[in-house]
């Protein structure tokens, strides 16, 4: 059995912990309970991500991208449909402002939420592999055509491995479904898996 | 290659956002021009100072941890304005008031090798964006609420319901803390609107609140409005909206603001044609009222005023129509009463004459030998008298409707029994719809039969080629809030009957005359077009305390609506006449009283021919004297026949009262040409044993005497 066979389970474990941390941080931030479901984790070539996301979601979305560097390099992308983004904003900041569309202040809030979720997952990976990873500040982009996300993925030629996490949260009785993509080069992906396997074996 | 220091300096000083560079101990290493400008702290005064000590608020609000974690763990943080509001407390002026700046904050960790710098904080002012977003949201909500208010105004039927619903929309939909509408009264009072006039109280008519605050505590009156003296008073005096923001008034304590639970309020006068009719007060809760919002609220107040005015106009119009209908009904009733008195008088005299004519014809028939040629002629004359008698009977029904003999019963059963037979042999199909739970009513069965006959006869005549007639019965309640039928009826429970035909209908110009006697749109004669049918229906139904209305249009058929009061109690059995058949000696003695000599003579003949012994008198005292005298002899009278109406003397009723005193067992029959008189309808209540409406024939006289227990074989001359 090679690394490829173990990788989904190992990654699922790590991401699960990371998403749990994110939910905890979010819960403290908004002072409300955040429920999460066990995320669905898949590993696929980056070139297939666009087709996958369009199969799953027909509407345009909002994606928040964050680069990370250090022991491993790559990019994390958090993707929500617009409707889901608005629902998330109303759950998080609805008391002060009711959202019916995405505004500048709403995008700033999505950036902060993205920073929490993506930062928690990557921090968890970083902790597990025992390396040092630093992040950039994320930037949210509101799609106005479905080529936006495709173009973003095309620019990531070297990051050919994608960990796709479908996560579901419930915040203040609102269901929020989103996708988290962790994009790595083949070498870094293998490095992560190797380090994780070693750690599991107690090496 | 690192960029030159000067380049960094130019860049940070020129940025339109705040830049703060901290060392690991959170001491300020750099503080750009933007920060100087917005914080009011010069760079040279803050360099080397601890940021968290300079701004204890950061620590107090739990935001210091983000800076520390960024420095220690090298994690970048974003603090968005909607979640955190701000990091560095800075106040800015917006719309003439101080507000705390909304900040989008980015905290970057810096590489350790870069001097002592450990973190950089970038602050972007988002106050305008957020205030605008809030304003847009509030205006959107307001517009949605106004749309709902407009819908309410279009549908409004009641003023009270409308203003209450508007208050609820203002609070529940738009989100104001509290709103109320006070009104001066139905018409307003323009005389009291001048400056310095006597305080005019506004009566609170509707309110809605989020906070549970009791609006009555606000005591909204002239010069004594909420918050500070006279906001409402000024609004009413000036006719303009008055807005109050507690933040601008040092005289208003925060405690008072908290008690009323609102920061900003406005008072909007409600006016129609420059006359004050009330005021709309809105209390905003935490927010302030923008000029755009005030403008929209003024429009709402104008629309409310207009709608209240329209509703009042509508109510006045409705009242006027009701009054007009009442006058028309009264007029109709008076007309019918006058016609009735005239018809009744004629009928009475005519009945007396008919009694003489018919009686004499009958006597003549007895006198002439059997088979005489004159017999046929006399029979024809008698038949014509019979028809004349029917006509006088109709006149009497018109006069007072013929006081109905009321019994409680099932109108539904009566309809099922009587109506289907009316259509036998016609091309008209009848569809009956009578619910099983139809309420009982109090009615005169015979008269209701007449009502059905006349209505159905009219329907049949309107459908000479046949057709359908639908007869529907239903229970209905006329109450203060229910839609009143277009006839004058007391409030209460009614049974409503509807007779809908498919006939030619009635032209609008004829509808107001259809209850007039001898009014007809049909051809005359031959049983058609007598023009008394609906007059009789009207008269009978009014005497039942009911109502009748005809709705019709040419070629759309006619619908006759009849309302009869429903009984409050269960059905009662109709009283039956139980007469004791007392065996009598042969040739019973009858005492007859009438003021018409010819009638007396005729009755004597009739009774003698029937085998009775007869004595006749012309007035009450004679009746009493002869009766008492006979009672004390061995030949008392077996029965007395009394004329009810006696011109210039003691009438039949008074005589009867005195006869009862003489002989409680007296058996008397009352007779009159006024067959509609209550004594004739309810003779048993007045002590009589039977009744003989004039004109009557010998057979009817005989029947009446048999009915009270006298029996005598007819003795032919």
pLDDT tens per residue across span A100-109: 678 888 899 9
Listed range (A149-158, B245-254, B359-368, B606-615) with the worst mean pLDDT: B245-254
Give the model's confidence band at B483: pLDDT under 50 very low, under 70 low, under 90 confident, else very high: low
Q: Rounded to an integer, what distance in angstroms lies between the CA atom of residue B311 and that of residue B204?
A: 18
Q: Report residue B237: phi and psi, to 5°.
A: -65, -45
Mean model confidence pLDDT for chain A: 83
pLDDT at B152: 92
- Mean pLDDT across B644-659: 83
- Portion of chain B with pLDDT greater than 70, in percent: 81
Q: Rounded to an integer, what distance in angstroms lies between the CA atom of residue B254 and that of residue B238?
A: 28
Q: Which residue out of B83, B100, B123 would a mutagenesis test of the A interface target, given it has the greatest number of A Cβ atoms within 10 Å? A: B83
pLDDT at B300: 92
- Residues B139/B287, Cβ–Cβ less than 8 Å: no
What pLDDT, in 10s, does the model give residues A3-36? 556 667 888 888 888 888 888 988 888 888 888 8
Considering only alpha carbons, which residue of chain B is nearest residue A108? B80
- Mean pLDDT across B48-56: 94
Q: What is the ipTM of this complex?
A: 0.87
Q: What Rg do the C-alpha atoms of chain B give, in angstroms?
A: 48
pLDDT at B46: 93
Residues of B with Cβ-Cβ distance to A111 under 8 angstroms: 78, 80
Q: Rounded to an integer, what distance in angstroms lies between the CA atom of residue B569 and that of residue B584?
A: 42
- Mean pLDDT across B314-332: 82
Listed range (B129-138, B164-173, B185-194, B544-553) with the worst mean pLDDT: B185-194
B78 vs A30, A103, A112: nearest CB: A112
What pLDDT, in 10s, does the model give residues B669-681? 998 877 777 788 7
Give the model's confidence band at B591: pLDDT under 50 very low, under 70 low, under 90 confident, else very high: very high
For B535, the 3-state DSSP assignment is: helix
What pLDDT, in 10s, does the model give residues B364-386? 887 888 778 888 888 888 888 88
Residues of A with Cβ-Cβ distance to B78 under 8 angstroms: 108, 111-112, 115, 137-138
- Residues A97/A185, Cβ–Cβ less than 8 Å: no
Residues of B with Cβ-Cβ distance to A106 under 8 angstroms: 82
- A103: contact with B, CB 8 A cutoff: yes
For B558, the 3-state DSSP assignment is: strand
Give the model's confidence band at B255: pLDDT under 50 very low, under 70 low, under 90 confident, else very high: low
- Mean pLDDT across B265-277: 84
pTM over the 0.90 mark: no
Establish, for the pair of chains A and B, how many residue pairs have beta carbons separated by less than 8 Å: 62
Q: Rounded to an integer, what distance in angstroms lies between the CA atom of residue B304 and that of residue B297?
A: 10
pLDDT at B189: 42
Contact call for B82 and A123, based on CB within 8 A: no
- Residues B156/B250, Cβ–Cβ less than 8 Å: no
pLDDT at B678: 78
- Residues B366/B717, Cβ–Cβ less than 8 Å: yes
pLDDT at B214: 55
- A104: contact with B, CB 8 A cutoff: yes
- How many Å separate Cα B87 from the centre of its chain? 64
Considering only alpha carbons, which residue of chain B is nearest residue A30? B83
- Mean pLDDT across B414-434: 81
pLDDT at B125: 94
Q: Rounded to an integer, what distance in angstroms lies between the CA atom of residue B24 and that of residue B37?
A: 25
B83 vs A29, A103, A119: nearest CB: A29
Locate tokens 């520390």: which residue? B68
Q: Is the pLDDT of residue B334 over 70?
A: yes
- Residue B658 structure tokens: 């005195």
- Residue B621 structure tokens: 């005292």
Residue bearing the bigger pLDDT, B69 or B201: B69
What pLDDT, in 10s, does the model give residues B506-522? 887 777 777 777 776 66
Mean model confidence pLDDT for chain B: 80
Residue of B32, B130, B136 whose CA lies nearest to B85 = B130
Alpha carbon of A2: minimum distance to chain B alpha carbons (Å): 34
Cis previous bond, B695, omega within 30 = yes
Residue bearing the bigger pLDDT, B102 or B534: B102
Phi-psi region for residue A63, left (φ > 0), alpha (ψ -120 to 50) or beta? beta
What pLDDT, in 10s, does the model give residues A53-83? 878 777 778 889 999 998 888 999 999 888 8
Q: Rounded to an integer, what distance in angstroms lies between the CA atom of residue B276 and that of residue B391?
A: 64
Contact call for A112 and B83, based on CB within 8 A: yes
- B80: contact with A, CB 8 A cutoff: yes
Q: Which residue out of A26, A28, A112, A134 would a mutagenesis test of the B interface target, given it has the greatest number of B Cβ atoms within 10 Å? A: A112
Give the model's confidence band at B225: pLDDT under 50 very low, under 70 low, under 90 confident, else very high: very low
pLDDT at B715: 35
pLDDT at B379: 85
């Amino acid at each position: 059995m090679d690394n490829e066979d173990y990788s989904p389970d190992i990654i699922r474990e790590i991401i699960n912990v990371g998403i749990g941390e994110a939910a905890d941080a979010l819960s403290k931030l908004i002072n409300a309970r955040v429920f999460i479901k066990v995320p669905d984790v898949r590993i696929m070539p980056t070139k297939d991500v666009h087709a996958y996301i369009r199969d799953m979601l027909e509407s345009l979305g909002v994606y928040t991208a964050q680069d990370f560097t250090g022991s491993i390099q790559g990019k994390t992308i958090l993707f929500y449909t617009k409707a889901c983004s608005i629902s998330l904003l109303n759950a998080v900041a609805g008391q002060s402002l009711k959202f019916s569309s995405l505004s500048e202040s709403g995008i700033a809030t999505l950036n902060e939420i993205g920073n929490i979720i993506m930062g928690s997952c990557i921090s968890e990976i970083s902790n597990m592999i025992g390396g040092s990873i630093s992040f950039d500040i994320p930037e949210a982009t509101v799609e106005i055509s479905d080529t936006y996300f495709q173009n973003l993925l095309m620019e990531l030629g070297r990051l050919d491995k994608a960990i796709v996490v479908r996560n579901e949260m419930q915040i203040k009785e609102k269901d929020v479904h989103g996708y988290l993509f962790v994009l790595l080069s083949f070498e870094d992906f293998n490095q992560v898996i190797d380090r994780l396997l070693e750690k599991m074996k107690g090496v | 290659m690192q960029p030159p220091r000067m380049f960094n300096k130019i860049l940070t000083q020129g940025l339109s956002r705040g830049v703060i560079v901290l060392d690991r101990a959170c001491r300020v290493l750099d503080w750009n021009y933007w920060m100087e400008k917005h914080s009011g702290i010069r760079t040279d005064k803050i360099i080397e100072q601890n940021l968290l000590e300079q701004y204890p608020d950061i620590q107090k609000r739990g935001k210091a941890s983000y800076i520390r974690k960024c420095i220690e763990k090298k994690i970048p943080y974003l603090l968005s304005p909607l979640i955190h509001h701000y990091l560095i407390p800075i106040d800015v002026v917006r719309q003439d008031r101080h507000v705390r700046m909304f900040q989008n904050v980015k905290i970057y960790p810096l590489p350790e090798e870069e001097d002592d710098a450990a973190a950089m904080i970038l602050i972007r002012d988002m106050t305008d964006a957020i205030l605008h977003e809030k304003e847009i949201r509030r205006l959107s909500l307001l517009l949605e609420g106004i749309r709902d208010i407009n819908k309410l105004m279009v549908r409004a039927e009641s003023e009270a319901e409308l203003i209450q619903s508007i208050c609820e929309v203002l609070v529940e939909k738009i989100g104001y803390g509290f709103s109320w509408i006070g009104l001066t009264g139905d018409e307003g009072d323009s005389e009291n609107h001048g400056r310095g006039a006597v305080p005019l109280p506004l009566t609170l008519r509707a309110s809605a609140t989020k906070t549970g605050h009791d609006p009555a505590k606000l005591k909204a009156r002239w010069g004594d409005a909420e918050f500070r003296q006279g906001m409402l008073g000024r609004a009413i005096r000036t006719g303009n909206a008055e807005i109050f923001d507690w933040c601008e008034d040092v005289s208003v304590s925060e405690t008072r603001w908290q008690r009323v639970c609102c920061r900003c309020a406005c008072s909007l006068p409600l006016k129609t044609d420059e006359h004050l009719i009330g005021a709309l007060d809105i209390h905003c809760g935490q927010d302030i009222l923008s000029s755009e919002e005030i403008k929209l609220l003024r429009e709402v107040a104008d629309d409310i005023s207009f709608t209240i005015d329209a509703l009042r106009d509508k109510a006045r119009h409705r009242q006027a129509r009701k009054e007009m209908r009442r006058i028309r009904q009264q007029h109709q009733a008076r007309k019918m009463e006058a016609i009735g008195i005239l018809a009744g008088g004629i009928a009475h005299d005519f009945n007396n004459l008919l009694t003489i004519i018919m009686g004499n014809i009958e006597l003549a028939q007895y006198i002439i030998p059997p088979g005489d040629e004159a017999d046929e002629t006399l029979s024809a004359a008698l038949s014509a008298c019979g028809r004349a008698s029917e006509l006088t009977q109709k006149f009497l029904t018109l006069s007072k409707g013929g006081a109905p003999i009321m019994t409680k019963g099932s109108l539904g059963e009566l309809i099922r029994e009587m109506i289907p037979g009316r259509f036998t042999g016609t091309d008209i199909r009848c569809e009956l719809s009578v619910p099983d739970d139809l309420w009982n009513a109090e009615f005169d069965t015979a008269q209701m039969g007449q009502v059905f006959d006349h209505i159905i006869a009219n329907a049949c005549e309107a459908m000479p080629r046949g057709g359908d007639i639908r007869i529907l019965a239903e229970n209905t309640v006329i109450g203060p809030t229910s839609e009143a039928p277009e006839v004058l009826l007391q409030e209460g429970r009614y049974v409503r009957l509807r007779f809908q035909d498919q006939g030619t209908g009635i032209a609008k110009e004829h509808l107001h005359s259809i209850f007039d006697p001898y009014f007809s749109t049909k051809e005359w004669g031959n049983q058609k077009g007598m023009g008394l049918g609906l007059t009789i229906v009207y008269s009978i139904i009014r005497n039942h305390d009911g109502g009748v209305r005809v709705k019709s249009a040419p070629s759309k058929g006619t619908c006759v609506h009849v309302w009869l009061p429903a009984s409050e109690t269960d059905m009662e059995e109709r009283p039956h006449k139980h007469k004791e058949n007392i065996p009598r000696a042969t040739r019973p003695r009858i005492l007859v009283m009438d003021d018409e000599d010819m009638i007396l003579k005729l009755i004597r003949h009739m009774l003698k021919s029937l085998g009775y012994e007869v004595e006749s008198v012309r007035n009450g005292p004679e009746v009493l004297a002869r009766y008492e005298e006979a009672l004390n002899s061995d030949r008392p009278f077996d029965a007395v026949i009394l004329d009810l109406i006696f011109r210039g003397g003691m009438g039949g009723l008074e005589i009867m009262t005195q006869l009862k005193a003489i002989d409680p067992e007296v058996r008397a029959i009352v007779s009159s040409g006024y067959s509609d008189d209550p004594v004739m309808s309810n003779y048993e209540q007045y002590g009589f044993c039977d009744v003989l409406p004039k004109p009557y024939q010998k057979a009817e006289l005989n029947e009446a005497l048999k009915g009270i227990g006298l029996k005598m074989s007819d003795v032919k001359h």
